[in-house]
Amino acid sequence: MFSQTLYIQWKWNRDTLAFYTALAFSAPLLILWIALPHLGLSSARELVRVGEVIGITIASIAVVAGLTVAWQGYGVDERAGHIYTLSLPVTRAHFLALRAATALVILVIPAAAVWLGALLATGQVHLPPTLRGYAGTMALRALLASWLAHACMFALRYSAGRRAKIVLGILVALMCAASAVAITAPGTRVFFSHVGDFIISNPGPFGAIFGRWALIDV
């Protein structure tokens, strides 16, 4: 059952997965090649700045890849009227577990491309003794970020279904309301700041995505 579900996931996502894999591999190299003639990379500060740009780009690619895989899977089920799901001799919980697990497996592919591209990029520059390249760490963070993004979208789509857009709208409205309260009532800013730090900072639930990304750092 796992291998069949994995094949179905691959069949549905291979085109978009190939795009994100190529993008994840080429992004570190392209950014470095663009930066070399303009910055000259003559100082450690410039190298760190370029490494941060690469990191932010990889983070964005990883998150979008995870969201796309989750959205694509539910979209196929919805267009087919969930017939494939209903035809399987397993419970819905078992089916969703298989679908989520196989999606996590195929998301390893763009993460591996991140590692290869970042490794080649750092190998093309001479790093001073104070700096290091973090190709493996960035690839691991890209994998975790894509898994987290996929988990969030997967949970939203399969729990809310066609009401997913409404739920997203409510979440955005709540965020806007919290921002408005923080602006109009300065006394609440400390509370909202602590809540925001907990959500986006390590070891918060979204720390893997919103933390500092850098291919080249001290």
> Which of the four pLDDT bands, split at 50, 70 and 90, describes residue 123?
confident
Confidence (pLDDT) at 35: 72
pTM of the model: 0.80
Where are the domains positioned within the chain? Answer: 2-162+208-217
Q: pLDDT of 80-96, one tens digit each? A: 555 555 566 667 778 78
Q: pLDDT of 36-94, one tens digit each? A: 666 555 577 788 888 888 999 999 999 999 999 988 876 666 665 555 555 666 677 78
Concatenating the DSSP letter of every residue in the chain gives -HHHHHHHHHHHHHHHHHHHHHHHHHHHHHHHHHHHHHHTT-SHHHHHHHHHHHHHHHHHHHHHHHHHHHHHHHHHHHHTTTHHHHHSSS-HHHHHHHHHHHHHHHTHHHHHHHHHHHHHHHHTS---TT-EE-HHHHHHHHHHHHHHHHHHHHHHHHHHGGGHHHHHHHHHHHHHHHHHHHHH-GGGHHHHHHHHHHHHSTTSTTHHHHS---SEE-
Averaged pLDDT for residues 116-131: 85
